[in-house]
Chains A and B, each alone.
Chain A
C-alpha cells in the first residue's frame, strides 16, 4: 500500500552526535555502535547539506550528546542555519549554568530520559546513583532557562506498574510532553528483551491505560508513537503518514555519518558525508520497502492494517527478521 504523502526530504533528522555515554542503561540501543565521531567542520558541512534539503529540525542524541565538547558550537551552527534544535539527554550534566548555555546556543527543546518515578528503580536501571535526582533538577534548570522540556520513558517491565506515577512526575515537573516509547529490542534492548519486554497482552493493557490518561490529563501532552494503538481506535501520531514515521518523515545519522532509517534499525542506507541525501531519500530500496510494506500473516485480515501498516518496523525487523511480518507486540489473535 502506498502512503498518501512522502515528503521530498526528511522533516526531522535524529543525529547520534556522539556514542560516548556516562551511563550504563540496560536497554541501550547504541552501546555497540561505532565510537567514530565527525569533526566540527564536517558536522557544519552536513548541517549545510540538511538545510539545502529543507530539513526542518535536528534532534541530537547518542550516547549522551553533552559529552561532545563542541555540542554548544554545533547547536549554535544549527540554530543559525534556521533549524529547530533539540536533544535527548540523561540530564546528569545539566546544571543551571549549562541550561543557560544550552538556551544561548539555540536549543529550543530538550528531552530528559526518566524511566521511573521511583528514584531507586531509575538509578538501578540507568546504572548511576543519584541520576534520578539529577534528571529532575535538569528539568527545572532547563525550564528556568526558557527551554521547552519533555520526559522520555521507555516502557518495559521496570515501569509498567508505574504509568500513573510517571504521568504525575511529568505534571509535577511541568514538562510539556511525556513520551512513552515502546520497547524496541535493539542493541542491549535485544540482549535483555526476555527480562524487560512486555507480553502483547501487557502492551494492550498499558496502552488502554495510557490512552485514558492521554484523554483525561490536562496541561501535559502524552505521546504514544506506536502504530499498534490503532487496534484501540487511536492514531499514533499527528502526522499525515500511517504506520511508522521512520524513513517517511525522519532519518537517523550515526556518529560516523552513516544514515539509517531510524536509530533502532541497523541497516545503513548511505553516508551523509559521501552521499546525496535526496538521492538516498528518493531511491533507497530499504526506505522504499519500509514505505510500502506488504502485509503478512494476521495483518492480511486485520481491519486496523490500513492505519497501523504492520506496526513498528524496527521492532518487527529486530524480532522476526522481516519488516513485513506482524508487529510482535500486537495482541490481536
Chain B
C-alpha cells in the first residue's frame, strides 16, 4: 500500500523554526513542540513538528516500510519505535483527510 499526500492540502515548511529544530536536535534538546511546517486543508490548520514534517514530505508514493527506512537515515531512533510512530501519525493524517492510500 502506497501513501500519498492529498494534493488539495496547502502546505509549507517554516524555515526559521526548521533551523531552530535541527539545531536543537544537534544539541540533544527536545524539539517535539517546535512546528516546522503548516498544513491548511478544508478550513483547518495543522502544524507538524520535525518528525511529522519529514514523514509528510515522504508521503509521495511510498510504503510505510519505505518511509521508515528513509527516516532512519536522518533520525537516530530504534526501527520498531519509529515504525510505531509513523503508523500512528499516518492514521491521524488519514482521519484528517490529509493523506490517502492506494
Contacts and interface: CB of A to CB of B under 8 A. Distances in A.
A56 interface: yes
B12 A56 contact: yes
A238 interface: yes
B64 interface: no
B45 interface: yes
A5 B43 contact: no
Contacts, number: 31
Interface string A216-255: 0000010100000000000000111000000001000000
Contacts of A56: 10, 12, 40
A54 interface: yes
Interface residues of B, number: 14
Bin chain A's interface residue count. Answer: 10 to 19
Nearest to A53: B12
B17 A8 contact: yes
Nearest to A55: B12
Contact of B14 (A8, A84, A249): A8
A240 to B, nearest CB: 5
Contacts of B47: 5, 240
A194 B20 CA distance: 50
Contact of A239 (B15, B35, B45): B45
B15 A238 contact: no
A11 B40 contact: yes
B16 A5 contact: no
B43 A238 contact: yes
Contact of A57 (B10, B16, B45): B10
Interface string B15-52: 11100000000000000000100101001111100000
B10 A238 contact: no
Interface of A is mostly: loop
A8 B40 CA distance: 15
A8 B44 contact: no
Nearest to A7: B38
Contact of A5 (B15, B35, B40): B35
A262 B95 CA distance: 33
A223 B16 CA distance: 32
Interface string A1-36: 000010110010000000000000000000000000
Given A8-B15, A8-B17, A84 B43 contact: no
Contacts of A7: 14, 38
Contacts of B15: 8
Interface of A: 5, 7-8, 11, 54, 56-57, 84, 177, 221, 223, 238-240, 249
22 contacts: A5-B47, A7-B14, A7-B38, A8-B14, A8-B16, A8-B17, A11-B10, A11-B38, A11-B40, A11-B45, A54-B12, A56-B12, A57-B10, A84-B10, A223-B43, A238-B43, A238-B44, A238-B45, A239-B45, A240-B35, A240-B45, A240-B47
